[in-house]
Amino acid sequence: MGSANVTTLPTAGRLPDLSRVPAVDEVGVNERVARFQSRSIKAKAKIDGLKLTLAMIDLTTLEGQDTPGKVRQLCQKAIHLHDSMPGLPHVAAVCVYPTMVSVAKESLKGHDINIASVATAFPSGMSSLDIKLNDTRIAVEAGANEIDMVISRGAFLAGDYQHVFDEIVAVKEACGDAHLKVILETGELGTLDRVRRASELAMHAGADFIKTSTGKIQPAATMQVTLTMLQAIRDYYYETGRMVGMKPAGGISSAKLALHYLVMLQETLGNAWMTPEWFRFGASSLANDVLMQLKKQETGVYQSPDYFSKD
């Protein structure tokens, strides 16, 4: 795969012709996904995969009931995943609401963990552009270096692609140096064809990452939509030479499922994307399940959540 440093956008600022986006073969996607789930990953490969999963996690808390205490606890978990097991990586980022960014920044001082913040009237995105841009700027100024924005699904479904495109471009500008992840909320898009179209739209508008879901809508991330988005990323890369990252979020809570996603990533985009720089899991309970699996590999004994700190 090519260089990771291509930042110029050959087609920036121009909405692609979405009618030319290839249709998604749903039956084919299902069959392909079933194949990924049949791969056998054991021993060393499993341990490496589990550790990579940990390093790719965006440890997330996005509740109305979040308090500074809860966010500090989450940050502690991000730094100290399980101290009795030496050699573990730390998670890629913590993901919080804009008002909690400063708390997270304080808690993570001196650690190489990114701070992601949702913005743009998350989770519905039902607000004016001004408010969305302000929301973004507030999060960036408070110290977020990754912004997870939501697209306006209503406008997208109504066919107003230009509106959605312009919003992403504007938010990208408001982000400054912060990385922009664009949440498509695939659970509200309905079909894989729309997922594919929204992916292309977001990437052409300048998304650094595309992300499946807010976690507030069911279904959240599925392997089918993730595969569709990975294929869009691959085709976009062939077309423009720019790498775009992928973040499935919501509903990935078991280590086994995470390994299936890694298999899918490897077989669709290849090794260049197999790093936290280009792939993330948006999750809260996944980390402990992965830790329990790693401990099981180490001791040979099935583990209990009782012996792992809560996140």
Partner 1 sequence: MSRLSVAKTYKIYIGGKFPRTESGRYFPLHDGQGHVIANICRGSRKDFRNAVVAARKAQPGWAGASAYLRGQIIYRIAEMLEGRREQFIAELKQQGLTASAAEKEVDAAIDRLIYYAGWADKYQQVFSAVNPVSSSHFNFSVLEPTGVVGVLAPDDTSLLGLVSNVAPCIVGGNTCVVLASESKPLCAVSFAEVLHSSDVPAGVVNILTGYREELTGQFASHMDVNAIVYCDGSKKVATAIQTAAADNIKRVVSRVNTDWAKDKAQDPYLIKQTQEVKTTWHPIGS
Binds partner 1 by CB under 8 A, chosen from 7, 38, 87, 302: 302
Min CB(306)–partner 1 separation in Å: 7
Binds partner 1 by CB under 8 A, chosen from 301, 309, 310, 311: 301
Does 307 bind partner 1 (CB under 8 A)? Our answer is: yes
Binds partner 1 by CB under 8 A, chosen from 305, 309, 310, 311: 305
Min CB(305)–partner 1 separation in Å: 7
β-bridge pairing 281-283 and 245-247: unpaired
Q: Say if CB 215 and CB 253 are below 8 A apart.
A: no
Match 């500090």 to its residue by tokens.
72
Binds partner 1 by CB under 8 A, chosen from 3, 7, 271, 304: 304
Catalytic-labelled residue, pool 247, 289, 295, 311: 247
Q: Distances from the Cα of 273 to the Cαs of 97, 127, 138, 244, 247, in angstroms?
A: 27, 34, 30, 9, 11
Does 306 bind partner 1 (CB under 8 A)? Our answer is: yes
- Pick the closer one to partner 1 by CB: 73 or 303: 303
Catalytic-labelled residue, pool 132, 172, 211, 295: 211
Residues 261-300 interacting with partner 1 (rule: CB under 8 A): 300
Min CB(42)–partner 1 separation in Å: 13
- Pick the closer one to partner 1 by CB: 84 or 304: 304
Catalytic-labelled residue, pool 77, 132, 135, 148: 148
Does 238 bind partner 1 (CB under 8 A)? Our answer is: no
Does 253 bind partner 1 (CB under 8 A)? Our answer is: no
Strand order in the sheet with 281-283: 245-247, 209-211, 179-183, 146-150, 114-119, 93-96, 57-60, 281-283
Does 84 bind partner 1 (CB under 8 A)? Our answer is: no
Binds partner 1 by CB under 8 A, chosen from 73, 275, 285, 303: 303
Whether 247 is catalytic: yes
Active-site positions read 148, 211, 247
Contact footprint for partner 1 (CB under 8 A): 300-307
